[in-house]
Structure 1
Amino acid sequence: MPINQALVATGSRGRWTGRPASTTAAISASVSSIANTDEEENTATLSASAPNQISSYASPSVLVDPIRTSSAAFGTASVSVASSQNTTSTQTGNCSCGYILTSYNNAYFPESLIVDFSTVTDKSSLANMGLRIMDGSRAGSVAPDGGRSLTSIDNVAIKDGILTLTVPGGQAKGGQISSAEIETIFAATGGVFTMNAKLSPVAGTCQAIFTYTDNEDRSLDEQDIEIVAITPGMIQLTNHDPNKTKKSDEQKSPFTNDPFTSFNEYTIGWFKDSTKYYYNGAVLNGPTQYRSVNPSQIVINNWSSGKETFTQGPPVDDTVLQVKGIAYYYQKESMATYPAYPNGCSESQACRV
């Protein structure tokens, strides 16, 4: 469902090739041992014939890289991304029994995290909303020349009611490249996760929302929506095999409008029997294999390794991913228990949104 129609209830990382290292030293030590992923190689092979569906929307000189937990804070009210403040009044009653998502085949999820960033004045308050800013961890894979992305809290900001994730321009290839990332504090086992965002037209990064396992020792679950420099004009959708086989299923869909001049909704629908992907509410032709099955964080990031067959870059100018809001409906119980109604609740008591 559109973010600006979301109800809020009181209650209750793209391609990493391994959970991010926590220190610069650990990242440097791991560079030589990290192999290129099959998915990135497939992307490079397919990109040669991929049409640029958005070439008419932005200057080629910009598009082509020259070098390369809880919703308690929001009460139970209807929330609009465009609203000036959060409200605690209720128009539809208490949603403590969860949500039926009418735009997603009446899927049910018991919890929600809705954030309208126009109501957030300080990024330090994100932790109280169930989000953490990554700082000093690796995002994405390592390039053959040693280029790797390191998250920095300094690259995440809230400005004019928009959450911004920036990869600063002018960084050198072949070394540490500063990036930006946020993720949920909680891990979900299913849900519908929407980001309302405007992409940067400056090439040289991967701008993404995805789910990623909370325990790499156990599994490598990952479900991606990515926009990468090597495939301009396309939304790249990928499911990764949770069983650590390094296999993946990938599809690409062309943009139907200009994602650089307007805000659009990017949605991952992680259901009991499938994963589906949506753009502005329209289902995309996505992968059908390797649906995630284990608890995972929901991650939004903007990063570059300088790898010529994937992110390219690093960008010459600042690349800024702008996020107006998020709407996450989810469960944390095993999908074997779906639908996971809270104690004393039934389908008839859930809010229809």
Structure 2
Amino acid sequence: MNALAHRRVPSDEGTVSSASSSDASDDDDRPLTAERAKPSRFSSNSKTGWIVAGVLAVLLVAAGVLAVVLYNRQASQSAAPATSAGTAGTSERETATHSSQSPSSQNKEEGEAEGDGGGRGGHTRSGQGGRTQADDTRTAAPTSTSTPQSSSPSGNLPPLVGEQLLVDFTTFSSSDTVESFLTSSGLTISDWPVEFTPIPVIMAPGNVDIVDGALRLKVTAGTEPVVSAEVVTKQEEILYGRVTTRAKASPVPGVWSGPTLEVDIELLSSYYTKGRGDSVKPGIQFTNHPLTEGEEMYNEVYPYGFDPTADFHDYTIEWTKDTTIFSIDGAEIATFTRNVPAGPMAFNWNSWSSGEPNWSAGPPEEDSYFLIQGMAGNWTTA
């Protein structure tokens, strides 16, 4: 605030001469000069000017104080909605329904208990119940619940955006080991059997590698159990979020590949462009697993519109409290409101074959490789 600048009244250039007794005589013919007529600086007019100036100074100071008070009040009111929104988000997460069982142990038990349908759609699937094809349950997609916090362009591929998960396999160097690179990225390699039918599967660390800037998940031909591959997030308490996988599918028939967390994007190499009667529709498969024993899984199938084995594409799963949303290369394809998971879990990427003709088909007659250039995700945790 600028202080009020007072202009000092200039001092008199002269003084009034005192009249002597002789000056009062009638014969003093001197004219009345300006000097003699000038009033004293302490005249009534001068005093009034000082009073006016003082009043103005007080008014300006009061106006400044009022402006500061109003500014502080407005700033306080603006900050209130942000605080309220943050509190509401925390409350919603705290009141969500959570599963008390560890996702890793839960997935293993489901796999070991597999016996119906050969583990359709991923080793985490329970296989209980049938499969519901596309219906009219699709709805408009809600606004994303995740806000990207960082980006990691490598120069070799478009930027990946993520906070809780951000892996660019093109940055892998010979000075790293595969295990150490994955560990530092928040991922682990699976090593356990899955009792799929008609042929069991084993997730083997030796089938996970990073080659030519891509994570390579291998399914080995001519083995029983079928030696397959999987990586999993170390974070097992994911509860809602958005994860994108930049991947290229295998051209070898007889393999299931894709990202999964009880919500699957399924790339069936035997059924990219052709189906199997009424059992398997050709195209990319989007699936929500059964939530309870005896419940049907929910599945929709869409044409690719491109060759998934020719290049890398972005496959995205977004999971909210009420919906699962599937996107390819940033374009939303489907939104499910049925069988939406309610409990926390880990996120998996795997490639395998069980020989079940109505899903994975196979086993493959030659080695198959599912390639992943990058992964990125933002999520909340239970």
- Range class of TM-score, shorter chain: 0.5 to 0.7
Question: Are residue 198 (structure 1) and residue 248 (structure 2) matched?
Answer: yes
Question: Are residue 225 (structure 1) and residue 248 (structure 2) matched?
Answer: no
- Mapped to 2, the partners of 1:203 and 1:263 lie a distance apart of 18
What is the aligned partner in structure 2 of residue 19 from structure 1?
A: 107
What is the aligned partner in structure 2 of residue 9 from structure 1?
A: none
SS at structure 1 position matched to 2:164: strand
1:234-253 alignment runs, 5 A limit: 234-253=283-302
What is the aligned partner in structure 2 of residue 131 from structure 1?
A: 187
The Cα of 1:34 is off from its aligned counterpart by: 2.5
1:166 to 200, 214, 218: 218
Query: For the Cα contact (< 8 Å) 1:237–1:287, is it kept in 2?
Result: no
Residue by residue, what CA displacement relative to the aligned partner does 1:141-176 show, whole Å, maximum 9, x if unpaired? 622x4x0110001100011111100101233xxx41
- Mapped to 1, the partners of 2:288 and 2:108 lie a distance apart of 19
1:298-317 alignment runs, 5 A limit: 298-317=347-366
The Cα of 1:198 is off from its aligned counterpart by: 0.6
**Whose Rg is larger?**
2
Letter in 1 for 2:245: M
The Cα of 1:228 is off from its aligned counterpart by: 1.6
- Mapped to 2, the partners of 1:36 and 1:259 lie a distance apart of 25
Q: Which shifted more, 191-200 or 281-290?
A: 281-290
Question: Are residue 34 (structure 1) and residue 84 (structure 2) matched?
Answer: no
SS at structure 2 position matched to 1:137: strand
Query: For the Cα contact (< 8 Å) 1:249–1:290, is it kept in 2?
Result: yes
- Mapped to 1, the partners of 2:349 and 2:154 lie a distance apart of 18
Gaps of 5+ in 2: 1-103, 121-126, 134-148, 274-282
| Identity of matched residues, % | 29
Of Structure 1 and Structure 2, the greater strand share is in 1
- Mapped to 2, the partners of 1:38 and 1:300 lie a distance apart of 15
Query: For the Cα contact (< 8 Å) 2:265–2:286, is it kept in 1?
Result: yes
SS at structure 2 position matched to 1:127: helix
- Mapped to 1, the partners of 2:150 and 2:117 lie a distance apart of 46
Query: For the Cα contact (< 8 Å) 1:189–1:296, is it kept in 2?
Result: yes
What is the aligned partner in structure 2 of residue 272 from structure 1?
A: 321
TM-score by length of 2: 0.57
1:96-111 alignment runs, 5 A limit: 111=163
Gaps of 5+ in 1: 1-15, 47-75, 87-100, 102-108, 212-221, 334-353
Q: Give the count of matched residue pairs.
A: 241
Of Structure 1 and Structure 2, the greater helix share is in 2
1:1-353 alignment runs, 5 A limit: 19-20=107-108, 34-36=115-117, 78-83=151-156, 111-121=163-173, 122-125=177-180, 126-138=182-194, 142-143=196-197, 145=198, 147-171=199-223, 175-187=224-236, 188-211=238-261, 222-229=262-269, 231-233=271-273, 234-333=283-382
Judged with a 3 Å threshold, the aligned counterparts in structure 2 of structure 1 residues 295 and 81 are, in CA distance, closer, same or farther, namely: farther
The Cα of 1:317 is off from its aligned counterpart by: 1.0
- Mapped to 2, the partners of 1:77 and 1:279 lie a distance apart of 21
The Cα of 1:83 is off from its aligned counterpart by: 4.7
TM-score by length of 1: 0.61
Higher relative contact order, structure no. (Cα contacts within 8 Å, ≥ 6 residues apart): 1
CA RMSD of aligned residues (A): 3.1
SS at structure 1 position matched to 2:346: strand
- Mapped to 2, the partners of 1:77 and 1:224 lie a distance apart of 25
